[in-house]
Structure 1
Protein backbone atom coordinates (compact mmCIF):
# COMPACT_ATOMS: atom_id res chain seq x y z
CA UNK A 1 0.00 0.00 0.00
CA UNK A 2 2.87 2.37 0.81
CA UNK A 3 4.09 2.07 -2.78
CA UNK A 4 0.64 2.47 -4.33
CA UNK A 5 -0.25 5.89 -2.92
CA UNK A 6 2.91 7.65 -4.16
CA UNK A 7 2.38 6.10 -7.60
CA UNK A 8 -1.23 7.31 -7.70
CA UNK A 9 -0.17 10.79 -6.60
CA UNK A 10 2.52 10.85 -9.27
CA UNK A 11 0.06 9.84 -12.00
CA UNK A 12 -2.47 12.43 -10.85
CA UNK A 13 0.20 15.13 -10.78
CA UNK A 14 1.42 14.12 -14.24
CA UNK A 15 -2.16 14.26 -15.54
CA UNK A 16 -2.66 17.76 -14.12
CA UNK A 17 0.59 18.95 -15.69
CA UNK A 18 -0.47 17.40 -19.01
CA UNK A 19 -3.82 19.23 -18.93
CA UNK A 20 -2.15 22.54 -18.04
CA UNK A 21 0.31 22.19 -20.92
CA UNK A 22 -2.47 21.13 -23.28
CA UNK A 23 -4.71 24.06 -22.42
CA UNK A 24 -1.76 26.45 -22.32
CA UNK A 25 -1.24 25.78 -26.00
CA UNK A 26 -4.50 27.59 -26.66
CA UNK A 27 -2.97 30.97 -25.86
CA UNK A 28 0.27 30.44 -27.80
CA UNK A 29 -0.28 31.61 -31.40
CA UNK A 30 1.00 30.13 -34.64
CA UNK A 31 1.23 32.46 -37.66
CA UNK A 32 1.06 35.37 -35.24
CA UNK A 33 1.90 37.85 -38.01
CA UNK A 34 -1.15 36.92 -40.08
CA UNK A 35 -3.14 39.87 -41.42
CA UNK A 36 -6.43 39.71 -43.25
CA UNK A 37 -6.46 40.42 -46.98
CA UNK A 38 -8.83 43.41 -47.45
CA UNK A 39 -10.27 42.16 -50.74
CA UNK A 40 -9.65 38.50 -49.92
CA UNK A 41 -11.85 35.44 -49.89
CA UNK A 42 -14.47 35.47 -47.11
CA UNK A 43 -14.38 32.49 -44.79
CA UNK A 44 -15.85 31.94 -41.33
CA UNK A 45 -14.97 29.89 -38.29
CA UNK A 46 -18.28 28.82 -36.76
CA UNK A 47 -18.98 26.96 -33.54
CA UNK A 48 -21.82 25.54 -31.50
CA UNK A 49 -19.81 26.06 -28.35
CA UNK A 50 -18.17 22.63 -28.42
CA UNK A 51 -17.28 21.95 -32.06
CA UNK A 52 -15.86 24.19 -34.81
CA UNK A 53 -16.43 24.21 -38.57
CA UNK A 54 -14.76 25.99 -41.47
CA UNK A 55 -17.32 27.84 -43.58
CA UNK A 56 -16.31 28.40 -47.22
CA UNK A 57 -17.89 29.92 -50.33
CA UNK A 58 -19.71 27.19 -52.23
CA UNK A 59 -18.15 28.53 -55.43
CA UNK A 60 -15.14 30.84 -55.30
CA UNK A 61 -14.48 32.53 -58.64
CA UNK A 62 -10.82 33.57 -58.29
CA UNK A 63 -9.62 30.11 -57.26
CA UNK A 64 -12.21 28.31 -59.40
CA UNK A 65 -13.01 25.98 -56.49
CA UNK A 66 -16.51 24.51 -56.70
CA UNK A 67 -17.25 22.42 -53.64
CA UNK A 68 -20.25 20.69 -55.19
CA UNK A 69 -17.94 19.41 -57.94
CA UNK A 70 -15.46 18.26 -55.29
CA UNK A 71 -18.15 16.36 -53.39
CA UNK A 72 -19.33 14.73 -56.59
CA UNK A 73 -22.91 14.03 -55.47
CA UNK A 74 -25.44 14.92 -58.23
CA UNK A 75 -28.34 15.00 -55.75
CA UNK A 76 -26.52 17.55 -53.59
CA UNK A 77 -25.60 19.63 -56.63
CA UNK A 78 -29.26 19.75 -57.67
CA UNK A 79 -30.48 20.61 -54.17
CA UNK A 80 -27.88 23.15 -53.06
CA UNK A 81 -26.57 24.82 -56.21
CA UNK A 82 -28.22 28.12 -55.24
CA UNK A 83 -26.73 28.17 -51.73
CA UNK A 84 -23.80 30.49 -51.05
CA UNK A 85 -21.69 28.72 -48.43
CA UNK A 86 -20.77 25.27 -47.18
CA UNK A 87 -19.31 24.36 -43.79
CA UNK A 88 -16.90 21.51 -43.12
CA UNK A 89 -16.19 19.81 -39.82
CA UNK A 90 -14.34 16.64 -38.84
CA UNK A 91 -15.05 14.43 -35.87
CA UNK A 92 -15.66 11.11 -34.17
CA UNK A 93 -18.11 8.93 -36.08
CA UNK A 94 -20.01 7.56 -33.07
CA UNK A 95 -20.18 10.99 -31.44
CA UNK A 96 -21.64 12.53 -34.59
CA UNK A 97 -24.19 9.79 -35.21
CA UNK A 98 -25.42 9.70 -31.62
CA UNK A 99 -26.03 13.46 -31.72
CA UNK A 100 -29.01 13.12 -34.06
CA UNK A 101 -32.24 14.86 -33.03
CA UNK A 102 -30.34 17.11 -30.66
CA UNK A 103 -29.34 14.28 -28.34
CA UNK A 104 -26.04 14.09 -26.50
CA UNK A 105 -23.89 10.97 -26.99
CA UNK A 106 -23.84 8.31 -24.30
CA UNK A 107 -21.23 8.50 -21.58
CA UNK A 108 -19.54 5.40 -22.95
CA UNK A 109 -19.27 6.97 -26.40
CA UNK A 110 -17.69 10.09 -24.93
CA UNK A 111 -15.20 7.99 -22.97
CA UNK A 112 -14.30 5.86 -25.99
CA UNK A 113 -13.69 9.03 -28.01
CA UNK A 114 -10.55 9.52 -25.91
CA UNK A 115 -9.10 6.51 -27.75
CA UNK A 116 -8.44 6.32 -31.52
CA UNK A 117 -11.69 5.88 -33.43
CA UNK A 118 -13.24 6.28 -36.87
CA UNK A 119 -14.16 9.70 -38.20
CA UNK A 120 -16.62 11.47 -40.48
CA UNK A 121 -16.70 14.76 -42.34
CA UNK A 122 -19.76 16.86 -41.55
CA UNK A 123 -20.90 18.98 -44.52
CA UNK A 124 -23.53 21.68 -43.92
CA UNK A 125 -24.96 23.99 -46.61
CA UNK A 126 -25.79 27.65 -45.87
CA UNK A 127 -28.13 29.77 -47.99
CA UNK A 128 -26.18 32.90 -47.06
CA UNK A 129 -23.30 34.02 -44.90
CA UNK A 130 -23.89 33.94 -41.14
CA UNK A 131 -23.87 37.06 -38.99
CA UNK A 132 -20.72 37.59 -36.95
CA UNK A 133 -21.27 36.87 -33.28
CA UNK A 134 -20.10 34.99 -30.21
CA UNK A 135 -19.65 31.76 -32.15
CA UNK A 136 -19.05 33.12 -35.65
CA UNK A 137 -15.76 34.79 -36.66
CA UNK A 138 -15.42 36.15 -40.23
CA UNK A 139 -12.01 36.40 -41.89
CA UNK A 140 -10.74 37.59 -45.26
CA UNK A 141 -7.84 35.52 -46.55
CA UNK A 142 -5.74 35.57 -49.70
CA UNK A 143 -6.57 33.37 -52.67
CA UNK A 144 -3.40 31.34 -52.02
CA UNK A 145 -4.40 30.80 -48.39
CA UNK A 146 -7.89 29.82 -49.49
CA UNK A 147 -6.49 27.29 -51.96
CA UNK A 148 -4.27 25.75 -49.28
CA UNK A 149 -7.15 25.57 -46.79
CA UNK A 150 -9.34 23.98 -49.47
CA UNK A 151 -6.69 21.35 -50.20
CA UNK A 152 -6.53 20.52 -46.50
CA UNK A 153 -10.31 20.06 -46.33
CA UNK A 154 -10.43 17.99 -49.52
CA UNK A 155 -7.67 15.68 -48.24
CA UNK A 156 -9.68 15.01 -45.08
CA UNK A 157 -12.31 13.01 -46.98
CA UNK A 158 -11.79 9.27 -47.34
CA UNK A 159 -12.42 8.46 -51.02
CA UNK A 160 -13.48 5.13 -52.45
CA UNK A 161 -11.31 3.11 -54.85
CA UNK A 162 -12.40 5.37 -57.72
CA UNK A 163 -11.41 8.54 -55.83
CA UNK A 164 -15.00 9.62 -55.10
CA UNK A 165 -16.13 11.11 -51.79
CA UNK A 166 -18.35 8.62 -49.96
CA UNK A 167 -21.67 9.81 -48.55
CA UNK A 168 -22.24 8.08 -45.19
CA UNK A 169 -25.89 9.04 -44.56
CA UNK A 170 -28.78 10.35 -46.64
CA UNK A 171 -29.08 13.29 -44.23
CA UNK A 172 -27.53 14.64 -41.05
CA UNK A 173 -29.14 16.69 -38.30
CA UNK A 174 -31.29 18.57 -40.82
CA UNK A 175 -32.19 18.36 -44.49
CA UNK A 176 -29.22 20.58 -45.33
CA UNK A 177 -26.31 18.71 -43.76
CA UNK A 178 -24.65 15.38 -44.47
CA UNK A 179 -21.88 13.05 -43.34
CA UNK A 180 -19.07 11.66 -45.49
CA UNK A 181 -16.36 9.13 -44.68
CA UNK A 182 -13.19 10.81 -43.43
CA UNK A 183 -9.50 10.07 -43.10
CA UNK A 184 -7.70 9.87 -39.79
CA UNK A 185 -8.62 8.83 -36.27
CA UNK A 186 -10.17 10.92 -33.55
CA UNK A 187 -8.72 10.73 -30.03
CA UNK A 188 -7.94 12.85 -26.99
CA UNK A 189 -4.95 14.49 -28.67
CA UNK A 190 -6.62 14.90 -32.07
CA UNK A 191 -10.05 16.44 -31.62
CA UNK A 192 -12.48 18.09 -34.03
CA UNK A 193 -11.14 21.47 -32.95
CA UNK A 194 -7.56 20.36 -33.53
CA UNK A 195 -8.64 19.52 -37.09
CA UNK A 196 -9.98 23.04 -37.63
CA UNK A 197 -6.92 24.57 -36.00
CA UNK A 198 -4.51 22.55 -38.11
CA UNK A 199 -6.24 23.63 -41.32
CA UNK A 200 -5.91 27.28 -40.33
CA UNK A 201 -2.25 26.79 -39.40
CA UNK A 202 -1.36 25.02 -42.65
CA UNK A 203 -3.00 27.83 -44.63
CA UNK A 204 -0.89 30.44 -42.83
CA UNK A 205 -3.78 31.81 -40.76
CA UNK A 206 -3.42 32.68 -37.10
CA UNK A 207 -4.15 29.62 -34.98
CA UNK A 208 -3.30 28.06 -31.63
CA UNK A 209 -0.29 25.92 -30.80
CA UNK A 210 -2.82 23.37 -29.54
CA UNK A 211 -6.61 23.65 -29.72
CA UNK A 212 -8.49 20.83 -27.96
CA UNK A 213 -11.58 23.02 -27.45
CA UNK A 214 -13.71 25.28 -29.62
CA UNK A 215 -12.77 28.20 -27.37
CA UNK A 216 -9.10 27.57 -28.20
CA UNK A 217 -9.75 28.05 -31.91
CA UNK A 218 -12.01 31.07 -31.47
CA UNK A 219 -9.55 32.74 -29.09
CA UNK A 220 -6.90 32.96 -31.81
CA UNK A 221 -9.09 33.71 -34.84
CA UNK A 222 -10.75 36.57 -32.96
CA UNK A 223 -7.31 38.07 -32.47
CA UNK A 224 -6.57 37.53 -36.14
CA UNK A 225 -9.77 39.39 -37.06
CA UNK A 226 -8.93 42.24 -34.68
CA UNK A 227 -5.49 42.93 -36.22
CA UNK A 228 -5.66 45.40 -39.10
Structure 2
Protein backbone atom coordinates (compact mmCIF):
# COMPACT_ATOMS: atom_id res chain seq x y z
CA UNK A 1 0.00 0.00 0.00
CA UNK A 2 2.77 2.43 0.94
CA UNK A 3 4.72 1.61 -2.22
CA UNK A 4 1.63 2.29 -4.33
CA UNK A 5 1.12 5.63 -2.58
CA UNK A 6 4.78 6.51 -3.10
CA UNK A 7 4.56 5.75 -6.82
CA UNK A 8 1.37 7.81 -7.14
CA UNK A 9 3.03 10.72 -5.37
CA UNK A 10 6.04 10.47 -7.67
CA UNK A 11 3.85 10.47 -10.80
CA UNK A 12 1.90 13.47 -9.48
CA UNK A 13 5.18 15.28 -8.82
CA UNK A 14 6.42 14.66 -12.37
CA UNK A 15 3.10 15.84 -13.81
CA UNK A 16 3.32 19.00 -11.73
CA UNK A 17 6.81 19.70 -13.06
CA UNK A 18 5.75 19.11 -16.65
CA UNK A 19 2.69 21.33 -16.23
CA UNK A 20 4.97 24.11 -15.04
CA UNK A 21 6.76 23.93 -18.38
CA UNK A 22 3.58 24.91 -20.22
CA UNK A 23 2.62 27.80 -17.94
CA UNK A 24 4.39 31.01 -19.01
CA UNK A 25 5.64 33.79 -16.77
CA UNK A 26 6.04 37.27 -18.32
CA UNK A 27 3.77 36.14 -21.17
CA UNK A 28 3.57 39.74 -22.46
CA UNK A 29 7.32 39.90 -23.14
CA UNK A 30 8.17 41.18 -26.61
CA UNK A 31 11.62 41.41 -28.15
CA UNK A 32 13.09 44.90 -28.35
CA UNK A 33 13.72 46.25 -31.87
CA UNK A 34 17.46 46.90 -32.23
CA UNK A 35 17.85 45.39 -28.77
CA UNK A 36 20.80 43.55 -27.27
CA UNK A 37 21.07 40.02 -28.60
CA UNK A 38 21.37 37.24 -26.05
CA UNK A 39 20.98 33.49 -26.51
CA UNK A 40 19.46 30.58 -24.65
CA UNK A 41 21.60 27.54 -25.53
CA UNK A 42 21.19 23.88 -24.62
CA UNK A 43 23.08 20.65 -25.16
CA UNK A 44 19.86 18.70 -24.71
CA UNK A 45 20.25 18.22 -20.96
CA UNK A 46 21.68 21.47 -19.65
CA UNK A 47 20.92 25.09 -20.58
CA UNK A 48 23.06 28.24 -20.59
CA UNK A 49 22.64 31.98 -20.89
CA UNK A 50 24.98 33.34 -23.59
CA UNK A 51 25.75 37.06 -23.50
CA UNK A 52 28.03 39.49 -25.36
CA UNK A 53 31.50 39.64 -23.83
CA UNK A 54 31.35 43.43 -24.19
CA UNK A 55 28.05 45.30 -24.28
CA UNK A 56 28.72 49.05 -24.75
CA UNK A 57 25.18 50.34 -24.21
CA UNK A 58 25.12 49.00 -20.66
CA UNK A 59 28.90 49.37 -20.13
CA UNK A 60 29.08 45.63 -19.36
CA UNK A 61 32.42 43.88 -19.86
CA UNK A 62 32.58 40.30 -18.61
CA UNK A 63 36.36 40.15 -18.86
CA UNK A 64 36.56 43.04 -16.41
CA UNK A 65 34.01 41.40 -14.13
CA UNK A 66 35.90 38.09 -14.11
CA UNK A 67 39.02 40.12 -13.26
CA UNK A 68 41.64 37.48 -14.00
CA UNK A 69 44.72 38.44 -16.04
CA UNK A 70 45.06 35.03 -17.68
CA UNK A 71 41.36 34.98 -18.64
CA UNK A 72 41.53 38.51 -20.09
CA UNK A 73 44.59 37.67 -22.19
CA UNK A 74 43.17 34.39 -23.45
CA UNK A 75 39.66 35.55 -24.35
CA UNK A 76 40.04 39.21 -25.28
CA UNK A 77 39.16 38.47 -28.94
CA UNK A 78 36.08 36.39 -28.15
CA UNK A 79 32.62 37.87 -28.76
CA UNK A 80 30.25 35.91 -26.49
CA UNK A 81 30.38 34.14 -23.14
CA UNK A 82 28.00 31.51 -21.81
CA UNK A 83 27.07 30.93 -18.17
CA UNK A 84 25.53 27.80 -16.72
CA UNK A 85 24.95 26.90 -13.07
CA UNK A 86 24.91 23.35 -11.81
CA UNK A 87 25.90 20.55 -9.47
CA UNK A 88 29.63 20.40 -8.73
CA UNK A 89 29.77 16.61 -8.76
CA UNK A 90 28.02 16.42 -12.13
CA UNK A 91 30.24 19.05 -13.69
CA UNK A 92 33.53 17.62 -12.46
CA UNK A 93 32.38 14.05 -13.12
CA UNK A 94 31.73 14.89 -16.77
CA UNK A 95 35.34 15.47 -17.82
CA UNK A 96 36.43 13.51 -20.85
CA UNK A 97 32.85 13.08 -22.04
CA UNK A 98 32.06 10.78 -19.13
CA UNK A 99 28.61 10.55 -17.55
CA UNK A 100 28.73 11.06 -13.78
CA UNK A 101 28.47 7.86 -11.77
CA UNK A 102 25.48 6.63 -9.82
CA UNK A 103 26.81 8.13 -6.60
CA UNK A 104 26.98 11.64 -8.04
CA UNK A 105 23.55 11.19 -9.59
CA UNK A 106 21.92 10.20 -6.31
CA UNK A 107 23.72 12.88 -4.30
CA UNK A 108 22.52 15.53 -6.75
CA UNK A 109 18.96 14.97 -5.53
CA UNK A 110 19.99 16.37 -2.14
CA UNK A 111 21.34 19.88 -1.41
CA UNK A 112 24.88 19.92 -2.76
CA UNK A 113 27.64 22.41 -3.78
CA UNK A 114 27.47 24.21 -7.10
CA UNK A 115 29.71 25.68 -9.77
CA UNK A 116 29.21 28.26 -12.50
CA UNK A 117 30.40 27.06 -15.89
CA UNK A 118 31.91 29.86 -18.00
CA UNK A 119 32.23 29.09 -21.72
CA UNK A 120 33.62 31.57 -24.26
CA UNK A 121 32.52 31.78 -27.91
CA UNK A 122 34.66 33.31 -30.66
CA UNK A 123 31.47 34.27 -32.50
CA UNK A 124 27.75 34.24 -31.81
CA UNK A 125 26.34 30.72 -31.28
CA UNK A 126 25.27 29.09 -34.53
CA UNK A 127 21.48 29.04 -34.76
CA UNK A 128 19.84 25.66 -34.49
CA UNK A 129 17.22 23.60 -32.70
CA UNK A 130 18.86 24.15 -29.32
CA UNK A 131 19.90 27.79 -29.77
CA UNK A 132 17.31 30.55 -29.30
CA UNK A 133 18.28 34.22 -29.92
CA UNK A 134 16.39 37.00 -28.16
CA UNK A 135 16.60 40.78 -28.45
CA UNK A 136 16.28 42.39 -25.03
CA UNK A 137 16.16 45.94 -23.74
CA UNK A 138 19.01 47.61 -21.86
CA UNK A 139 17.07 47.31 -18.61
CA UNK A 140 16.44 43.61 -19.18
CA UNK A 141 20.08 43.02 -20.07
CA UNK A 142 21.28 44.77 -16.91
CA UNK A 143 18.97 42.58 -14.85
CA UNK A 144 20.20 39.45 -16.62
CA UNK A 145 23.84 40.44 -16.09
CA UNK A 146 23.20 41.18 -12.41
CA UNK A 147 21.57 37.77 -11.99
CA UNK A 148 24.62 36.03 -13.45
CA UNK A 149 27.08 38.08 -11.40
CA UNK A 150 25.17 37.40 -8.19
CA UNK A 151 25.39 33.67 -8.90
CA UNK A 152 29.14 33.33 -8.48
CA UNK A 153 30.83 33.14 -5.11
CA UNK A 154 33.18 36.11 -4.70
CA UNK A 155 36.51 36.22 -2.90
CA UNK A 156 37.39 38.92 -0.36
CA UNK A 157 37.98 41.39 -3.21
CA UNK A 158 34.63 40.61 -4.84
CA UNK A 159 36.15 38.60 -7.70
CA UNK A 160 34.84 35.17 -8.73
CA UNK A 161 36.84 32.24 -7.38
CA UNK A 162 38.38 30.37 -10.31
CA UNK A 163 38.24 26.63 -9.70
CA UNK A 164 39.92 25.32 -12.85
CA UNK A 165 42.04 26.91 -15.56
CA UNK A 166 40.34 24.72 -18.17
CA UNK A 167 37.05 22.87 -18.35
CA UNK A 168 35.94 20.45 -21.04
CA UNK A 169 37.72 22.42 -23.78
CA UNK A 170 40.34 25.19 -23.88
CA UNK A 171 37.47 27.72 -24.08
CA UNK A 172 35.74 27.08 -20.76
CA UNK A 173 36.38 26.86 -17.03
CA UNK A 174 34.54 26.81 -13.69
CA UNK A 175 34.12 29.27 -10.85
CA UNK A 176 32.62 28.71 -7.42
CA UNK A 177 28.89 29.42 -7.29
CA UNK A 178 26.35 30.42 -4.70
CA UNK A 179 23.35 28.30 -3.80
CA UNK A 180 22.66 24.59 -3.48
CA UNK A 181 21.65 22.19 -6.20
CA UNK A 182 18.87 19.69 -5.46
CA UNK A 183 15.98 17.94 -7.15
CA UNK A 184 13.76 21.04 -6.92
CA UNK A 185 16.52 23.46 -7.93
CA UNK A 186 18.24 22.23 -11.07
CA UNK A 187 20.61 23.81 -13.59
CA UNK A 188 17.67 24.54 -15.86
CA UNK A 189 15.74 26.16 -13.02
CA UNK A 190 18.68 28.56 -12.71
CA UNK A 191 18.55 29.52 -16.40
CA UNK A 192 14.78 29.87 -16.20
CA UNK A 193 15.05 32.07 -13.11
CA UNK A 194 17.50 34.36 -14.90
CA UNK A 195 15.03 34.85 -17.74
CA UNK A 196 12.06 35.26 -15.41
CA UNK A 197 13.64 37.78 -13.04
CA UNK A 198 14.85 39.84 -16.01
CA UNK A 199 11.32 40.23 -17.37
CA UNK A 200 11.76 37.74 -20.21
CA UNK A 201 9.25 35.03 -21.00
CA UNK A 202 9.99 31.90 -18.96
CA UNK A 203 8.32 28.78 -17.60
CA UNK A 204 6.60 28.61 -14.23
CA UNK A 205 8.84 25.62 -13.50
CA UNK A 206 11.69 24.38 -15.69
CA UNK A 207 13.42 21.22 -14.41
CA UNK A 208 14.52 20.26 -17.94
CA UNK A 209 16.34 22.04 -20.75
CA UNK A 210 13.33 21.43 -22.98
CA UNK A 211 11.23 23.42 -20.51
CA UNK A 212 13.49 26.45 -20.87
CA UNK A 213 13.72 26.19 -24.65
CA UNK A 214 9.96 25.78 -25.09
CA UNK A 215 9.16 29.18 -23.56
CA UNK A 216 12.21 30.85 -25.14
CA UNK A 217 11.07 29.71 -28.59
CA UNK A 218 7.57 31.04 -27.90
CA UNK A 219 9.11 34.40 -26.98
CA UNK A 220 11.29 34.43 -30.12
CA UNK A 221 8.32 33.77 -32.42
CA UNK A 222 6.31 36.76 -31.22
CA UNK A 223 6.73 40.00 -33.20
CA UNK A 224 8.90 42.67 -31.53
CA UNK A 225 7.24 45.38 -29.48
CA UNK A 226 6.95 48.90 -30.78
CA UNK A 227 9.63 51.48 -30.21
CA UNK A 228 8.57 54.22 -27.78
CA UNK A 229 7.41 57.49 -29.36
CA UNK A 230 8.04 61.02 -28.12
Place the TM-score, normalised by the shorter chain, in its bin.
over 0.9
Q: Which residue of 1 aligns with 2:110?
A: 115
**What does the per-residue CA deviation read over 1:30-89, in whole Å, with 9 as the maximum and x for residues that have no partner?**
000000001000000001000000000000010000000111111110111111000000
Write the distance in 2 (CA, Å) between the matches of 1:72 and 1:223.
36
Q: Which residue of 2 aligns with 1:49?
A: 44
Q: Which residue of 1 aligns with 2:83?
A: 88
Q: Which residue of 2 aligns with 1:102?
A: 97
Equivalenced residues, count: 223
**Secondary structure of the equivalent of 1:62?**
helix
Q: Which residue of 2 aligns with 1:172?
A: 167
Give the structure-1-normalised TM-score: 0.97
Write the distance in 1 (CA, Å) between the matches of 2:16 and 2:31.
29
**What does the per-residue CA deviation read over 1:184-216, in whole Å, with 9 as the maximum and x for residues that have no partner?**
000000000000000000000000000000000
Write the distance in 1 (CA, Å) between the matches of 2:153 and 2:113.
11
Superposition RMSD on alpha carbons, in Å?
0.7
**Secondary structure of the equivalent of 1:39?**
coil
1:162 positional shift: 2.3
Write the distance in 1 (CA, Å) between the matches of 2:159 and 2:80.
21
1:129 aligns with 2:124: yes
Query: Match for 2:201 among 160, 181, 206?
Result: 206
Write the distance in 1 (CA, Å) between the matches of 2:118 and 2:18.
28
**Secondary structure of the equivalent of 1:200?**
helix
How do 1:31-70 and structure 2 match up within 5 A? Answer: 31-70=26-65
Write the distance in 1 (CA, Å) between the matches of 2:66 and 2:95.
22
Write the distance in 2 (CA, Å) between the matches of 1:118 and 1:52.
18
The answer to which of 44-53 and 102-111 deviates more is 102-111
Structure 1: segments with no counterpart, 5+ residues: 1-5
Write the distance in 2 (CA, Å) between the matches of 1:189 and 1:32.
23
Q: Which runs of 4+ in 1 moved over 6 A?
A: none
Q: Which residue of 2 aligns with 1:11?
A: 6
The answer to which of 18-27 and 196-205 deviates more is 18-27
Give the structure-2-normalised TM-score: 0.96
